[in-house]
């Protein structure tokens, strides 16, 4: 029996971290991971500029009695003149500060009359200026290798004028579902059949992690079909996830199928609920992770054990997202011999401590709990957790994202 943390770190090592570099345009970059450190190219903003619509002035030469001549109206994108003594320059948010000016007076504190202006109050010297380099210093480390590129990172890279970025290759994932009882959604179904929910679910989980290449295959519970499906997925996938058929029942043919392809397979009994069994194999350098067939088990194993491996293969420098903590709200003692991961809603409370509300039905076939929950609370093995106890929680917002 493997404990949960050991299983998680073993699975994290199941494939080498990404190391090939390719170059993509800024617009192709969201969801990808930086393959090199990116240094700033220049100070940003590149010049002192106004944070307000107002007037550029020399602070020392200023009072509220004088009417000052407006020397220039300088819009954002225009070059300012050097400020002449006794005058001011009208400017707008983003206008570059003129030489000789050190302060901006906002237009709300000014009365403009034709080409002259009088100020009603004076701000402190240096007010309302965004200074050169206050956002980014030229040649500082902008973003390190291994950074997952989301909107904030794209904005930062774009602000430095970077149009082509070194990233790791996009990960390609294959999903193999198995089971004679399964019918694809959209097809007619007999009473003894159920719809294949794991296939679309795992594809969606992979897509939520920024994986756009997901190939789905389904095989009946026949050795030859499973072997053929694995062979087809091996052609263009970097990681294969199979689901179901990996226990020790008569129809559990995934293990023999992988073995007949010449690979060894480690079947793990992970001491977690829901979860076991989980298996790991490698075929021609491609890792294959075999997930349990129950939809909730497959979801939980993906989120807690497979997602770190995916992040590592994508090149992320932080394959293990943060774990949070909260107070469990429960009517009964919870905890058993296995590590329990229970589906909870995470509620924020005014005192700043999260409360974790368990779903009423923690069965591993209760698919409706997956859309209801927003995290998995961790109940250590052999513990007796009661209402109000603080436990670890794995928020989907972190664990099911890139
Ligand atoms: P297995 O490990 O193949 O015995 O599957 C365990 C349970 O999960 C059985 O009740 C299966 O019907 C169910 N199951 C397996 N694969 C899927 C799937 N792709 N979609 C929905 N349920 C599944
Ligand atoms: Mg099956």
- Give residue-wise pLDDT tens across range 290-339: 999 999 999 999 999 999 999 999 999 999 999 999 999 997 777 788 99
Strand partners, 105: 55
- How confident is the model over 264-282, as a mean pLDDT? 91
Residue 255 banded pLDDT, cuts 50, 70, 90: very high
Between the CA of 244 and the centroid of ligand 2 the distance, in Å, is 5
- The whole-angstrom separation of Cα 307 and Cα 241 is 11
Between the CA of 80 and the centroid of ligand 1 the distance, in Å, is 70
pLDDT in tens, 349-399: 999 999 999 999 999 999 999 999 999 999 999 988 999 999 999 999 999
Strand partners, 375: 344, 395
Residue 62 banded pLDDT, cuts 50, 70, 90: very high
Q: Which residues contact 294 (CB under 8 A, 6 or more apart)?
A: 274, 364, 365
- The whole-angstrom separation of Cα 288 and Cα 240 is 5
Q: Does pLDDT of 54 surpass 80?
A: yes
- How confident is the model over 181-206, as a mean pLDDT? 98
Residue 240 banded pLDDT, cuts 50, 70, 90: very high
Q: Does pLDDT of 276 surpass 90?
A: no
Give 84 or 17, the one with higher predicted confidence: 84
- The DSSP result for 59-107, as a single string, is GGG--SSPPEEEEEEE-TTSPPPPPPTTEEEEE-TTPBPPTT--EEEEG
- The whole-angstrom separation of Cα 207 and Cα 187 is 24
Give the number of the atom of ligand 1 that is nearest the alpha carbon of residue 294. 8
Q: Does pLDDT of 284 surpass 90?
A: no
Give the number of the atom of ligand 1 that is nearest the alpha carbon of residue 247. 2
Quick one: 362 exposed, middle or buried, by C-beta within 10 A (0-12, 13-18, 19+)?
middle
358: tokens are 């368990």
Q: Are 254 and 263 in contact (CB under 8 A)?
A: no
- How confident is the model over 75-86, as a mean pLDDT? 96
Q: Does pLDDT of 264 surpass 80?
A: yes
Give 252 or 84, the one with higher predicted confidence: 84
Residue 267: per-residue pLDDT: 85
- The whole-angstrom separation of Cα 53 and Cα 68 is 17
- Whole-model pTM: value is 0.92
Percent of the chain with pLDDT over 90: 92
Look up tokens 């996830």; give the residue. Answer: 241
* Protein residue with its CA nearest to atom 10 in ligand 1: 294
pLDDT in tens, 200-234: 999 999 999 999 999 999 999 999 999 999 999 99
Between the CA of 206 and the centroid of ligand 1 the distance, in Å, is 19
* Protein residue with its CA nearest to atom 17 in ligand 1: 293
* Protein residue with its CA nearest to atom 23 in ligand 1: 293
- How confident is the model over 52-64, as a mean pLDDT? 96
Give strand ranges (E) for 146-275.
164-167, 172-178, 182-183, 194-195, 213-219, 239-243, 265-268, 272-273
Give the residue among 153, 155, 137, 136 at the shortest CA–CA distance from 145. 153
Look up tokens 């299983």; give the residue. Answer: 7
Between the CA of 17 and the centroid of ligand 2 the distance, in Å, is 32
Give strand ranges (E) for 209-353.
213-219, 239-243, 265-268, 272-273, 278-283, 286-291, 324-328, 339-348
- How confident is the model over 173-202, as a mean pLDDT? 98
């Amino acid at each position: 029996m493997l404990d949960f943390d050991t299983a998680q770190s073993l699975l994290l090592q199941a494939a080498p971290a990404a190391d090939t570099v390719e170059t993509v345009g800024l617009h192709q970059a969201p969801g990808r991971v930086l393959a090199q450190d990116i240094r700033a190219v220049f100070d940003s903003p590149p010049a002192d500029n106004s944070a307000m619509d107002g007037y550029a002035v020399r602070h020392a030469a200023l009072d509220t009695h004088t009417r000052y001549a407006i020397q220039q109206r300088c819009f954002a994108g225009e070059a300012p003149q050097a400020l002449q003594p006794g005058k001011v320059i009208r400017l707008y948010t983003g206008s570059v500060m003129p030489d000789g000016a050190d302060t901006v007076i906002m237009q709300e504190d000014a009365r403009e009359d034709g080409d002259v202006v009088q100020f009603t109050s004076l701000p402190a010297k240096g007010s309302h200026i965004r200074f050169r380099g206050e956002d980014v210093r030229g040649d500082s480390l902008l973003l390190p290798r291994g950074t997952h590129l989301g909107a904030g990172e794209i904005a930062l890279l774009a602000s430095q004028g970077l149009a082509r970025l070194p990233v790791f290759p996009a990960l390609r994932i294959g999903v193999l579902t198995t089971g004679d009882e399964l019918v694809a959604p959209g097809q007619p179904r007999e009473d003894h059949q159920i719809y294949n929910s794991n296939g679309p679910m795992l594809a969606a989980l992979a897509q939520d992690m920024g994986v756009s290449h997901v190939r789905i295959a389904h095989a009946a519970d026949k050795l030859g079909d499973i072997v053929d499906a694995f062979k087809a997925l091996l052609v263009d996938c970097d990681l294969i996830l199979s689901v179901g058929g990996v226990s020790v029942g008569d129809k559990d043919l995934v293990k023999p199928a992988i073995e007949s392809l010449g690979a060894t397979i480690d079947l793990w009994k992970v001491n977690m609920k829901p979860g076991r069994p989980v298996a790991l194999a490698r075929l021609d350098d491609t890792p294959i992770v075999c997930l349990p067939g129950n939809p909730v088990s497959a979801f939980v194993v993906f989120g807690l054990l497979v997602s770190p491996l995916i992040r590592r293969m994508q090149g992320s420098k932080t394959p293990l997202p943060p774990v949070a903590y909260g107070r469990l709200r429960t009517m009964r003692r919870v905890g058993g011999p296995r590590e329990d991961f229970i589906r909870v809603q995470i509620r924020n409370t005014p005192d700043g401590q999260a409360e974790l509300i368990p779903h009423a039905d923690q069965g591993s076939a209760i698919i409706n709990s997956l859309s209801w929950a927003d995290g998995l609370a961790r109940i250590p093995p052999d513990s007796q957790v009661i209402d109000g106890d603080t436990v670890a929680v794995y928020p989907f917002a972190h664990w099911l994202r890139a």
